[in-house]
Amino acid sequence: MERDYQMWHQREHLLRLDNPDREKLMPKGPVLAALSADFGMRVADIGAGIGYFSLPLAVAVGESGAIFAIDPSPAAREELRNRVKTSQLNQITILEGDAASTHLEDASMDRVLWHTMYHEVPDRDQAFDEMMRVLKPGGQWVLVDWQKIETPFGPPLEHRFSVGDVVLEVTRRGFREVRQFEPGPVTWGLVVEKP
């Protein structure tokens, strides 16, 4: 009985991630445009949750492409499995993992997405190595995270990073900055590339 309640509570929390208010604060359009995913591409959505980006990305890459939705949460993966089944987007593969351990093949991804999770990654050096490993040469990594400003929601200010700090961190690890973009009113966006 307690386990059923916990599963229901987790599902309710996850579904809050997919409400209309989120689209206002974190619209999909600018992020999808930055990813520029096209037919046949292979894209990793790390921290995929319930598929906020994985589902539209699957449409963008088509049946000849592949989306790898990676998340450590069993509840999120289960909810995403249900959505994939309903939508019949069979090009989505759901994997247990995180930014430092994706279980993807070497040099296999055209694009990687980290959306509002940079501040949550405990071992960024290991995660940067993992991104360098899984991206193809010329592959792009799109990062979106909270602006370093006070907001009534989101992570505490001391857990946030400015886009400038992130540029310094990732370029020191061998990535090349492609461009910065504005994904929404409370986030910054960055596109970097594996040489």
Sketch out the chain's domains with CATH numbers.
Answer: 2-193 (3.40.50.150)
Under 8 Å between Cβ of 99 and 44: no
pLDDT reported for residue 20? 64
Average pLDDT over residues 121-147: 97
pLDDT of 8 strictly over 70: no
pLDDT, one tens digit per residue, over 41-71 is 999 999 999 999 999 999 999 999 999 999 9
pLDDT reported for residue 153? 86
Lowest mean pLDDT among 5-9, 51-55, 152-156: 5-9
Q: What's the rounded Cα separation, in Å, for the pair 115 and 28? A: 10
Angle, helices 54-61/28-35, rounded to nearest 10 degrees = 40
3-state secondary structure 110-157: EEEEEECCHHHCCCHHHHHHHHHHHEEEEEEEEEEEECCCCCCCCCCH
DSSP state of 194: -
CB count in 10 Å sphere of residue 41: 20
Average pLDDT over residues 12-24: 60
The structure's pTM equals 0.89
pLDDT of 12 strictly over 60: no
What is the C-alpha radius of gyration for the chain, rounded to an integer number of angstroms? 16
pLDDT, one tens digit per residue, over 63-114 is 999 999 999 999 999 999 999 999 999 999 999 999 999 999 999 999 999 9
Q: Which phi and psi angles does 151 have, rounded to 5°?
A: -135, 155
